[in-house]
A = this chain, B = another copy of it.
Amino acid sequence: MANSLGKLFRITSFGESHGRGVGVVIDGCPAGLAVTEDDIQSELDRRRPGASIAATERKEADKVEIIAGVFNGKTSGAPICLMVWNRDVASGSYEKTRFLPRPGQADYTAFVKYGGFNDYRGGGRFSGRNTAALVMAGAVARRLLAILGVEILAHTVAIGGIAAEPKGLAEIRENRARNPLWCADPKAAQEMIKAIEAVKDEGDSLGGVIEGVALNVPVGLGEPVFDTLDGELAKAMLAIPAVKGVEFGAGFSAAAKKGSENNDPFALKDGKIVTVTNNAGGILGGLSNGMPVVLRVVVKPTPSIGKSQPTVNIKDMEPATVAITGRHDVCIVPRAVVVVESVMALTLCDLALRAGLIPKVIA
């Protein structure tokens, strides 16, 4: 396993869906940053199951505990360890499907890679539950980025084929929290909710697309030629279970454009260099260019569905079927919005430190 991310703001995550809990160690956070459990909890609450019609009914208090690295309310320069303990664990149901890998899940590949020793309960280490580590660490990263004035906001732009209308930043900020889907287009949100309810009754699931935007990112974040801003963001996004693609700015639509259409002309605005359009998604040559950093990730439909699916019994090597009876999200997209924000924060924070833009001691 390779459970660390980042070079100077480096997180190491651990834990399993049905083990003792889920945690994260942050190494490299500057000293003197004010951080409380409440700061982290408010982000964590946004990914809580039950906050959305689309989500699993599993009840997790998910109360963060600061285990190390914060002293008198401020980071001490020592590694920060944050944990949530598992409480509501119903693992009995997994025993009978132990050798029946669920389509679209990591069951089969993990079984082969770890020789069957992996914790298979609820996906174990591969569970979406482990994104709690990303959110906890991301909450600290966001506080660091706030020093630079960086604001990060993500929102749902598509679910089950229903696309939201493009909205301006003001509308995104205002509208997205008004519905449980974190969608900035209220009308589309209503349709999405209907679509979710429909597939729920069928025992099926839906995916979607999340857009993440980072504002006030200084010019020059990213370390070419490999540790680019887009490369690091892409790698980190793909650590979110169910994400199957990522694009920046115009993304895949650029394939149908001419250079003269896709290039963003430079201009002056209030004495600063800006681009007139933002097809680049704020990234040129792997470096932030001062415009909003814009990315979109596709979240595949939740693989855990109630419908019976063909599989293979990996013990007997016989064809079989599996029907999943546990509690699962019909559509994980709304809960993943805060995860996308957190992952953006982690990456931007690491690259801001690498660029020397955040001091080692916060005065």
Smallest CB separation, A78 vs chain B (Å): 4
Q: Is the CB of B75 within 8 A of A117?
A: yes
Q: How far is the CA of A356 from the CA of B31 in the complex (A)?
A: 13
Q: Using Cβ atoms and an 8 Å threshold, which residues of chain B touch A71?
A: 16, 19, 117-119, 124
- Known A76-B119, A263-B309, A264-B104; contact A126-B1, beta-carbon cutoff 8 A: no
Q: Which residues of chain B are near A188, meaning CB under 8 Å?
A: none
**Known contacts A25-B25, A68-B14, A109-B284; is-contact A117 B209 (Cβ 8 Å):** no
Do A77 and B266 have beta carbons less than 8 Å apart?
A: no
Instruction: Determine whether the beta carbon of B101 is less than 8 Å from that of A266.
Output: yes
- Contact status of A301 and B259, CB under 8 A, knowing A234-B238, A235-B235, A244-B247: yes
Chain B residues, Cβ within 8 Å of A67 = 14-15, 19-21, 23
Query: Is A255 touching B1 in the complex (CB atoms < 8 A)?
Result: no
Checking B32, B69, B161, B251 against A14 with a beta-carbon cut-off of 8 angstroms, the contacting residue is B69
A292 in contact (CB, < 8 A): no
User: Is A280 on the interface with B (CB-CB < 8 A)?
Assistant: yes
Interface size on A, residues (CB 8 A): 146
A315 to chain B, nearest CB (A): 12
**Quick check: is A241 within 8 A (CB to CB) of the other chain?**
yes
Interface string of A35-67 (1 = CB under 8 A from B): 000000000000000000000000000000011
Q: A67-B14, A226-B239, A258-B204 are in contact. Are A310 and B76 (CB under 8 A)?
A: no
In the bound complex, residues from chain B placing their C-beta under 8 Å from that of A2 are: 7, 27-28, 223-227, 354
Main secondary structure of the interface of A (DSSP, over half): mixed
Query: Which residue from B126, B244, B305 sits with its C-beta under 8 Å from A259?
Result: B305
Query: Would you call A158 an interface residue if the criterion is a C-beta within 8 Å of the partner chain's C-beta atoms?
Result: yes
- A109 and B217 CA atoms in complex are apart in Å by 12
Structural contact, A109 and B226, CB atoms closer than 8 A: no
Chain B proximity mask over A184-227: 1 for CB below 8 Å, otherwise 0: 00000000000000010010111111000000000110111111
State how many angstroms separate the Cβ of A267 from the closest Cβ of chain B: 6
Residue A112 at the chain B interface, CB threshold 8 Å: yes
Query: How many Å from the CB of A222 to the closest CB on chain B?
Result: 8
Q: Are A223 and B31 in contact (CB under 8 A)?
A: no
CA distance A93 to B183 in the complex (A): 49
| Chain B positions within 8 Å of A10 at CB level | 4
Q: Which residues of B contact A209 (CB under 8 A)?
A: 252, 255
